[in-house]
Amino acid sequence: MIKLPFALLTGTAVLALAASSLMAQDAPAVRVDVKEVKFSTQYTPQFQGSNIIDKRWKPKSWLEVDVAFDAKKARVAGDKSMFIEGIEIKYYVALNKTDAEGKLVLLTASINYLNIPVKDTSHALVFASPAALSRILEKDFANTDVKAVGVEVNFNGQLVGGHSSAGGKFWETNAAQFSTVDGVLLPKAKTPFAPLWGDYDVDAKQ
C-alpha cells in the first residue's frame, strides 16, 4: 500500500520550501502568496432556454479546485499599471485511486491566467468532468477521492509561489509513486460553469 506524508501546510510554508530555489535565481519581478487551495464537489449547472425541446438529465459531480492568491510586483519606473499581464499555475491533484501498476493517479494541468490584479485577492479555477473522473475512479466522484492537492505559480518561467496540502512538493518527492494523467483538469471556460460567478475568478488564456 502506498503511503504519503500528509501533514497540512499553509501557502506560506510552501513558499518557504521554495525559498532556496528563488534565492538561486534573480529576484523575481512578481511574488504570489497562495492563501488557500480548496477542492469541492460541484454539480453540473442546469440552465433553461426558450424555443428548444428540453431534455431530461441528472446533474453529476464535478471536481472543482479553487486557488485564492495575492499577487504583487516590483516597482518599475514609469509602470503605473495595477495588473500583472499573466501568470502560469501548475496543478497537481492526487487521487485515492491506483492504476494497474499500483501507482496513485495524479491529475496535472498547466494553465495560463491573464490580467492579474495586484490590489485584490484573486481566484483561479479548474474542473474535472464527471465522465473523466468516473472513468479513472470507476465510480462517481466524491470529495474523499482526493488525497492531496498542490499548485506551483510561475511568472516568465520563474517559480514565484506555491501551496501543498501534503507536506511539500509531494508530486516531486514521491514522483515514482504516481501515474500522471494530463488533460483532465480544465479551465472554467471549457466547462458548463463558464457563464457563472462573474468576475470572481481571473481569465484563463484561451
The total number of structural domains in the chain stands at 1
Tell me whether residue 1 is in a domain. Answer: no
- Give the tens place of pLDDT for each residue, 79-89: 889 999 999 99
Tell me whether residue 54 is in a domain. Answer: no
Three-state helix/strand/coil letters over the chain: CCCCCCCCCCHHHHHHHCHHHHHCCCCCCEEEEEEEEEEEEEECCCCCCCCCCCCCCCCCEEEEEEEEEEEEECCCCCCCCCEEEEEEEEEEEEEEEECCCCCEEEEEEEEEEEEEECCCCEEEEEEECHHHHHHHHCCCCCHHHEEEEEEEEEECCEEEEEEECCCCCHHHHCHHHEEEEECCEEEHHHCCCCCCCCCCCCEECC
User: pTM for the complete prediction?
Assistant: 0.86
Tell me whether residue 176 is in a domain. Answer: yes
Tell me whether residue 29 is in a domain. Answer: yes
pLDDT of residue 9: 38
- Give the tens place of pLDDT for each residue, 149-167: 999 999 999 999 999 999 7
Tell me whether residue 3 is in a domain. Answer: no
CB 111 within 8 A of CB 188: no
Q: Which domain holds residue 123?
A: 11-42+60-74+81-197
Q: In this structure, what CATH number is given to the domain that contains residue 112? A: 2.60.40
Tell me whether residue 6 is in a domain. Answer: no
- pLDDT of residue 15 exceeding 50: no
Tell me whether residue 5 is in a domain. Answer: no
Tell me whether residue 147 is in a domain. Answer: yes
